Amino acid sequence: MVQPNDSSSAGHRRRIALDERTCRMICPIASAMVGVCLTGIGLLHVTLTLRARQTVADDLLSVDALLFLIATLSSYFALRVQGTARLHWLERIADATFILAMLLLTAACFIITYALNR
């Protein structure tokens, strides 16, 4: 008995595979970015203490580290769940928080550059 070619089933499998690849990419990158943010906070504190200046950049980097952590955890749990609805929900959270964290990191870099060049 020949089974019909079900293109919707193939598309569904392809969509799940794409989501898993996205989560597999976000998880290690976001977790590394948490370390980058924490390193930036430490370096910023040392530099600004020596120059006796205050900036909001360390607060932004702290929030940024939390956003990267949320992206890491949601992509990790998306890889661990079995249901496709939950996979897509967690994958969207990972995407959104990762992009937001990258934007915030860019803003913090501009603030740091301005604070150090004054």
User: CB neighbours (10 Å) of residue 105?
Assistant: 19
55, pLDDT greater than 80: no
What average pLDDT does this structure show over 14-27? 65
What average pLDDT does this structure show over 51-77? 86
pLDDT band at 11 (very low <50, low <70, confident <90, very high): low
Return d(Cα 86, Cα 4) in angstroms, integer: 29
9, pLDDT greater than 80: no
- What pLDDT, on the 0 to 100 scale, is given for residue 99? 92
- What pLDDT, on the 0 to 100 scale, is given for residue 63? 92
pLDDT tens digits along 87-112:
788 888 989 999 999 999 889 888 88
Q: How many residues are given for the chain? A: 118
- What pLDDT, on the 0 to 100 scale, is given for residue 100? 95
- What pLDDT, on the 0 to 100 scale, is given for residue 7? 54
- Comparing C-alpha atoms, which of 100, 96, 105, 87 is closest to residue 39? 105
Whole-structure pTM value: 0.71
**78 within 8 A of 112, measured Cβ to Cβ:** no
Torsion of CA 63, 68, 71, 73, to 10 degrees: -100
- What pLDDT, on the 0 to 100 scale, is given for residue 113? 80
- Comparing C-alpha atoms, which of 116, 113, 111 is closest to residue 59? 111
